Structure 1
Amino acid sequence: MQNILSNIIIPVNEKLYVKNPESSELGKKIIENSILLIDAIGFENFTFKKLGERIGSNESSLYRYFESKHKLLLYLSSWYWGWMEYRLVFDTNNITNPLEKLKIAIKLVTEEVIDDSDTLHVNEAILYKIIVSEFTKTLHTKEVDEENKIGYFLVYKRVINRIIAIINEVNPDYAFAKSLASSIVEGALHQHFLKNHLKTITNCNENNSPSDFYINMIEKILN
């Protein structure tokens, strides 16, 4: 799969950027270093001025790619979910047993991510840490309904819809497939956050992963 992914450009809604960062070395440098800087200082403290200083570029040159840091975070989130969608497609494509397919899908969207060396300017492991900590900030805004209409969250919803379809394969009579799928995808991010920061209110730890929790859940719910 990695060899195939290395030849694929993850599609991102073109309305999220002014100039496609994948089209130039500076753009790729912006993506690579924005991930590292947001991870280091947090999204609240992140600015284009600080990013420009980090990469030795004028702040104005960054605005030629993204009109705001909110749009940049949306871009990074959309890229992540697009990458996750490719992983889901390839890893479940030839699985005929619906329950086994669902377990594979759940493991993919709930496990801790490791870096894919084929995407040189994106460290997926660090990007995943940002998704865990910051993704809700792309959703919990006053503009969420308008941004949803524009299609900013389309790929995120596609990931969830793929899991909904598999849940329906496992148990067509289960009435809450949408709620279950979205709870798994969103809940896994929260469980990883709790595991790392608020350990006393989750059972997830070094021995019990969020993947274990959600696979146990679907086996009990969908039987």
Structure 2
Amino acid sequence: MDNTVTQFTALLGERGIQLTPKQLEQFESYFQELISWNEKMNLTGITERSQVYTKHFYDSLTLALYLNMDEVKSLADIGSGAGFPGIPLKICYPHLKLTIVDSLSKRISFLQHVCDKLGLTNVQLIHGRAEDVAKQFVHRDAYDVVTARAVARLALLNEFCLPFTRKDGIFAAMKGSDPAEELAEAKRSFKELRAELQKVESFSLPVEDSARHIILVRKTGATPAKYPRKAGVPAKSPLV
């Protein structure tokens, strides 16, 4: 193992996450495909290997430090982009039934290629807008955990993601800087969408020491039928 992989495995090991040789191979293949495809389409501005391992792979797996992923059966990743955090979590926890929703078909093509290359099974990749997909019966109020990483402000994310979350399930919004202002702004959306703030976990990303926050929201009841509103409406008129 080179320094990047040694550091990656050590950081995860310190937090109780052990990776097999196969999983390490999958992460390396993921990195190689990400860089290769990034030359053809804009997937990430972070391309230096050690940075990808820290800022994308490790950062994605921090969700497992605050939720017991062994007990999670189904995970939906909304607006996943290049597959974060969904794909790293699936590599680490192969039992997960993973659904990824993204509005750009080129990104879905990339993610399908990655899943095929890495041999990931039980992954559903959906090209569509969250507002439309969440109206489909099979996805509504259906997932144990729903997550979104650096997609939008919380009031908007709540409307995108809580309709996918089952009653008593968790929506985890993965953020960078202090979300206090967003939390205050999102109070109406919690009430409207039948959810409550459970906890905000704050920590620093190792090596580069940048701030990270994970907002854990518990779903208290089925999403009212009128939500999410039609595609484009939540962004123009968020529940604030």
Instruction: Name the TM-score, length of structure 1 as normaliser.
Output: 0.31
Larger radius of gyration: 1
Higher helix proportion (structure 1 or 2): 1
Higher relative contact order (CA 8 A, sep 6+): 1
